[in-house]
Amino acid sequence: MSEALIFDPELITRYDRAGPRYTSYPTALQFSELQEAEYQAWVQDSNEEPLPRPLSLYLHLPYCSRICYYCACTKIVTANRAHAVPYVSHLKREIALQGRLYDNDRKVTQLHWGGGTPTFFNPEQMRDLMHTTGEHFNLSRGKSREYSIEVDPRETNEFTVSVLRELGFNRISLGVQDFDLGVQRAVNRVQSEEQTEQILLAARSNDFHSVSMDLIYGLPLQTLDSFMVTLDKVIAMAPDRLSVFNYAHLPKRFKSQRQIKTAELPSVEEKLRILQGTIERLGAAGYVFIGMDHFARPDDELYRAQQRGSLHRNFQGYSTHAECDLVGMGMSAIGAVGGNYIQNKREVGAYGQAIDEGRLAVYRGLAPEPEDRLRREVITQLICHFQLDPAPFEARWQLDFWEHFAAEKIALQEMIDDGLLSLTGGVIRVLPPGRLLVRNICMVFDCHLPARAAGGAYSRAI
């Protein structure tokens, strides 16, 4: 591992507590009812800015043919692919409705298809969706565009990968989780190494710029030894980016997790050993820790953006296109326009009904107050770059940073004493032992947290 991360089990155990992942601030728990007209006004304002922002499009494709027991995503599980046909037509109509709102000279520099399983849909359906998107939005063909898709290797073949490239995707994210057959059976996701490697090689031969893999630690039957075997196999495949997520067992909230036998889950101590082993092994293999579960090779754009100070965080995790307004489409999708948040209806029936009536499916959102916008900038800066210089904040917000955050400064003192961060000349630097706990540091600046955390709304950091 780079010198940028130190694993300290005692500190992790002491500081680890439930908190948000800060893909937005305030989080979606603060959203309230939103009328379509309000959203349209926000878009209009964004069109009229002196330099309108480019666009990032997110399409939620929620269908899966099988359930993975650990899953906490918004998805619809069905073996009958015909059930998803009406969704494609609703999504196409939403793309047309949304596209009319945005000035056509606003280039789409970032696009992401997330799931569910986007490759649940066949190549013709995917072509249809991308074609419709291109009819209503100004899709970039530039090299710096970031068009990414989540792929389930069990639901993809080499031909599909070539179709995705033809459609303009240049980044691919493969769901793996664990290669151990016992673990795979325990979570109902049996996926061979060959399936994964075949799709990875197809992505390479089709000139995808970046291949990412998702792993999960803390799954049933996992041990340090078994997970290191998985990790070695993954490292041998040399993905450009890796996400290693912590499995949060919340069976009261997520029904499918009730299929997981609690007795088969690794102990807290074993999970810590797995995390430590993961960090050490990825470091030895040349990966750098980006933050919040993410690792990348030093030549990957994610790391370069972090070095440049232009890394951003949104609903898809870390992002290299901080400058975009985000248009979320599909059931439950969340967008962010002019710094305001918008979410579509979360049930497929209600979503389709709104679209059938010729309306957008927005139902809730949030226009953050100036104080929340300031805190969002602080949290984003810390979670993306591990340091914060108050000077630019003071200039932009016309305030004395540490006078404004006097209570937070006091709250940070214990973390300073424990070596998680330093505060020198007013500048916060998250130190190597604090980097795994960066969201706990961010939580100090979150003024909505206490009530929500007490309600069990969030998972733990580790």
Contact (CB, 8 A) for 215 and 234: yes
d(CA 380, CA 389): 13
β-strand pairing of 427-430 with 421-424: antiparallel
- DSSP designation for 419: T
Of residues 89 and 259, the one with the C-beta less far from ligand SF4: 259
Q: Which residues does 76 contact at the CB level (< 8 Å), separation at least 6?
A: 62, 63, 64, 83, 84, 116, 348
CB of 184 to ligand SF4, least distance (A): 12
CB of 239 to ligand SF4, least distance (A): 18
d(CA 187, CA 266): 14
Contact (CB, 8 A) for 445 and 438: no
| Identity at 12, one-letter amino acid code | I
Of residues 63 and 289, the one with the C-beta less far from ligand SF4: 63
- Which helix (H) or strand (E) is 362 found in, with range? strand 362-366
CB of 257 to ligand SF4, least distance (A): 11
Of residues 5 and 199, the one with the C-beta less far from ligand SF4: 199
Of residues 20 and 115, the one with the C-beta less far from ligand SF4: 115
CB of 152 to ligand SF4, least distance (A): 5
Backbone angles phi, psi at 338, to 5 degrees: 60, 25
Of residues 14 and 185, the one with the C-beta less far from ligand SF4: 185
Q: What is the DSSP string of 183-223?
A: HHHHTT----HHHHHHHHHHHHHTT-SEEEEEEEES-TT--
Of residues 191 and 340, the one with the C-beta less far from ligand SF4: 191
Of residues 219 and 412, the one with the C-beta less far from ligand SF4: 219
CB of 123 to ligand SF4, least distance (A): 19
CB of 355 to ligand SF4, least distance (A): 22
Q: Which residues does 373 contact at the CB level (< 8 Å), separation at least 6?
A: 339
d(CA 73, CA 177): 15
- DSSP designation for 73: S
- Which helix (H) or strand (E) is 313 found in, with range? strand 312-314
| Identity at 221, one-letter amino acid code | L
d(CA 161, CA 167): 10
Q: What is the DSSP string of 328-344?
A: EESTT-EEEETTEEEEE
Contact (CB, 8 A) for 287 and 295: yes
Q: How many residues does the chain have?
A: 462
- DSSP designation for 460: B
Of residues 26 and 328, the one with the C-beta less far from ligand SF4: 328
CB of 64 to ligand SF4, least distance (A): 3
CB of 457 to ligand SF4, least distance (A): 20
Give SS3 for 425. Answer: coil
CB of 191 to ligand SF4, least distance (A): 10
Give SS3 for 115. Answer: strand
* Positions that interact with ligand SF4 (CB under 6 A): 64, 67-68, 71, 73, 75, 115-117, 152, 175
CB of 116 to ligand SF4, least distance (A): 5
- Which helix (H) or strand (E) is 60 found in, with range? strand 55-61
Of residues 117 and 125, the one with the C-beta less far from ligand SF4: 117
CB of 242 to ligand SF4, least distance (A): 17
Of residues 24 and 117, the one with the C-beta less far from ligand SF4: 117
Of residues 186 and 362, the one with the C-beta less far from ligand SF4: 186
